[in-house]
Structure 1
Amino acid sequence: MDEQPAGPPSTPPPPGPSVLPLRGDHGADWHPVSPKLAGVRRVSATAALLPAALALAFTSVYLWWWLAIGAGAVVLVWAWLMWVLGVQVRAISWAELPEELAIRKGRMWRRLVTIPYGRIQYVDLSSGPYKRQAGLADITVNTASPASSGDIPGLPVEVAEELRVRLAARGEAQRAGL
């Protein structure tokens, strides 16, 4: 009979920063974006679709009754958007890893972007009128290659400002070490 050596069973090493799966946290400290972003996107969608629905409804009353079908379709699209925008916002998260920034987006079509700190050229902070009203801002991390750039929408302004400063400093430090 062969005896098995005593000791703990071997476990695979945890994934490194370049092996991040699309699901699970795997030791990373993932931060969600603000839920207020869903409200901002809902206001924008309503501002775009409401005039179309009203124009179709008005035209259906005074010109062609069958345009009411179009108004109903626009209302259905609006109702679907009100639901899907909340799902989309809940699917956005980001993490600062030791060597890179990771950004996850999407429920059906998932996307994971990792941006090495040494490749960061500059970090933009932007906020439109609806987002300013809600106290939100967007961070855009730019690199030499547009394919490796990324953005984090809907952060509280204070968090966005701190993150911008931190990412710019890390980018400078990593580039200086090259």
Structure 2
Amino acid sequence: MSDPFDPQDTGWTPVSPRLATARILIGTVTVVVVAVLVLAVLAVIAATTSMPTWLLAVPIVLALAAVAWLVWWAPRNARSWGYQETEEELLVRHGIMFRRLVAVPYGRMQFVDVEIGPLARRLGFAKLSLHTASTETASTVPGVPHEEALRLRVRLTELGESRGAGV
């Protein structure tokens, strides 16, 4: 294994690129709701005071900048996630600027969670959570394709039981 954070390094399974789509959608809706609320408050203030009306453009410009940043950030972040099954542990990596690599030993896993919300279900992915006694070795992998998440849950449970931890 040359560089565990190199996306081109073979052996790593990437998460679904649809994770970026979900994050862009959720982020955009959040930004729009906040911008509309701020715009409404500013409109009331502008109507009742001598505030310049050009200030009403500020939340719109900030919202557009936030959505542009989301469109730039979300695909990069989704590409940074990956996992690798080894003989003794599941390796999980993520991060662009601040990178993290977590090794979760199969024998230390207490249970494996698969979560799927309405948007994730629609886009075909789930979040896989690996729980251990230590919060330092516990890990979560978002954006795992649904069928792969179910396969991993069964496989990791079997490996945990065979290694003596009792998942």
TM-score range, shorter chain: 0.7 to 0.9
Contact 1:101 1:115 in 2 (8 A): yes
Is residue 166 of structure 1 aligned with residue 155 of structure 2? yes
Which residue identity does 1:156 align to in structure 2?
Answer: P
Which residue identity does 1:36 align to in structure 2?
Answer: R
Report the secondary structure of 1:148's partner residue: coil
Contact 1:22 1:110 in 2 (8 A): no
Which residue identity does 2:141 align to in structure 1?
Answer: I
Which residue identity does 2:32 align to in structure 1?
Answer: L
Which residue identity does 1:143 align to in structure 2?
Answer: T
**Which segments of 5 or more consecutive residues in structure 2 lack a partner in the other structure?**
none
Instruction: Report the alpha carbon displacement of residue 61 of structure 1 after superposing the two structures with TM.
Output: 5.5
Instruction: Report the alpha carbon displacement of residue 144 of structure 1 after superposing the two structures with TM.
Output: 0.4
Instruction: Report the alpha carbon displacement of residue 170 of structure 1 after superposing the two structures with TM.
Output: 0.3
Aligned equivalents of 1:72 and 1:26: distance in 2? Answer: 37
Aligned equivalents of 1:23 and 1:153: distance in 2? Answer: 17
Q: Which residue of 2 aligns with 1:141?
A: 130
Report the secondary structure of 2:4's partner residue: coil
Is residue 38 of structure 1 aligned with residue 20 of structure 2? yes
State which drifts further: 73-82 or 86-95.
73-82
Contact 1:59 1:67 in 2 (8 A): no
Is residue 22 of structure 1 aligned with residue 4 of structure 2? yes
Among all aligned residue pairs of Structure 1 and Structure 2, give the percentage whose two residues are the same amino acid.
Answer: 35
Alignment TM-score, normalising by the size of structure 1: 0.80
Higher helix share: 2
Of 102, 112, 116, the match for 1:113:
102
Aligned equivalents of 1:129 and 1:154: distance in 2? Answer: 13
Instruction: Report the alpha carbon displacement of residue 26 of structure 1 after superposing the two structures with TM.
Output: 10
Report the secondary structure of 1:123's partner residue: strand
Aligned equivalents of 1:26 and 1:60: distance in 2? Answer: 48
Of 31, 53, 71, the match for 1:49:
31
Larger Rg: 1
Instruction: Report the alpha carbon displacement of residue 167 of structure 1 after superposing the two structures with TM.
Output: 0.4
Instruction: Report the alpha carbon displacement of residue 108 of structure 1 after superposing the two structures with TM.
Output: 1.0
Alignment TM-score, normalising by the size of structure 2: 0.85
Instruction: Report the alpha carbon displacement of residue 57 of structure 1 after superposing the two structures with TM.
Output: 4.1
Q: 1:27 to 1:171 in 2, by over 3 A?
A: farther
Report the secondary structure of 2:164's partner residue: helix
Aligned equivalents of 2:37 and 2:9: distance in 1? Answer: 52
Report the secondary structure of 1:114's partner residue: strand
Give RMSD over aligned pairs: 2.2
Report the secondary structure of 2:140's partner residue: strand
Aligned length: 158
Contact 1:95 1:102 in 2 (8 A): yes
Q: Which residue of 2 aligns with 1:6?
A: none
